[in-house]
Amino acid sequence: MRRGLRTGPERLGRAGLSQAGLNLARVPLAGLSLAGLAGALLLTLLPPLPARSAERAVIQEILDGDQLFVDGQKARVNQQATAPDDVSTKASRGALAFPGGAVGRINRFSRMRLGQSCFLLESGQVLVSGKAAGCTRSARLSVRGTNYLLEVDEQGDSQLSVLEGTVEVEPLKEGTPTGTGPTTVQAGQKLRLSAQGVILALLSLSSSDYDAILRGPLFDGFRLPLPNAGSLESYLRRYQPSVSLPVNLPSAPLAPSLPTPSLPSFGLPRLF
């Protein structure tokens, strides 16, 4: 691990090192587990997206009890979480509102960490509607506004299902691009990657896939509509007419988005 910390800044260069310092200054490294430290380093080594779309989130809904947590503490509706906070669930589900109007619905027994350029899904499932970029340990997603489902299983393999819109996926290995170049996943496709960032399959979503998702735990029972639900409904009516739409799918006017304050500058911490 000590050797990894030495080589990270050399790969980043001066500009990337400055960005890593900005993020790492906010992460209590001494209190992280090995897995948590790896996740924190992944979020700092990735170059930032133009919009800080996953740095903060407000708890919008909590379903099936009260087992939604922020950094291990039970969360409440309207509570704000800020990077590098960890958001996790046990037997509950929840919805998070990101800056810019995007919404993420997190399934039971899932865990994600907020980050400056993306949220890191460590396990479980999250459904995203709008412009909020996600990452796993083996992939980074570049999103321009869409509806997608991201999953990570117990082995670390991940699957991206693009319900509507397009998502560009850059394979990663331990937070570093593999060199294979990004893959564009179109609406109606699903991409599966290994824990090492190897593309395992790129397949079409069938009508039964859509039915399972739309009637699954990331749609059932949620009161507040998805911000990009109208685009999803239009796509399904045109390209998947046999799929029955949930009654709560149509979109409603967006709630006011979270303000994006200017970030203070931090000194560069010692990494070794």
Task: Record the pTM.
Answer: 0.74
**Helix H segments across the chain?**
2-24, 34-45, 207-214, 229-239
User: Residue 2: what pLDDT?
Assistant: 36
Is 245 a residue whose pLDDT tops 70?
A: yes
Q: If you ran DSSP here, which 8-state letter would residue 265 be given?
A: P
Q: How far is CA 210 from the centre of its chain?
A: 20
User: Residue 33: what pLDDT?
Assistant: 53
CATH topology of domain 56-204: Jelly Rolls (2.60.120)
> pLDDT tens digit string along 132-149?
999 999 999 999 889 999
Sketch the domain layout of the chain as residue ranges. 2-45, 56-204
- Phi/psi-derived region of residue 68, left when phi > 0, alpha when psi is between -120 and 50, beta in every other case: beta
* Whole-angstrom Cα Rg for the chain: 18
User: Residue 19: what pLDDT?
Assistant: 39
> pLDDT tens digit string along 18-58?
333 334 334 444 444 544 544 555 544 444 444 456 799 99
Q: How many whole angstroms separate alpha carbon 58 and alpha carbon 36?
A: 22
**What average pLDDT is seen over the chain?**
80
Task: Summarize the confidence of residues 201-222 as an average pLDDT.
Answer: 96
Q: Which of 132, 55, 141, 60 is nearest to 96 (CA)?
A: 60
> pLDDT tens digit string along 167-206?
999 999 887 888 888 999 999 999 999 999 999 999 999 9
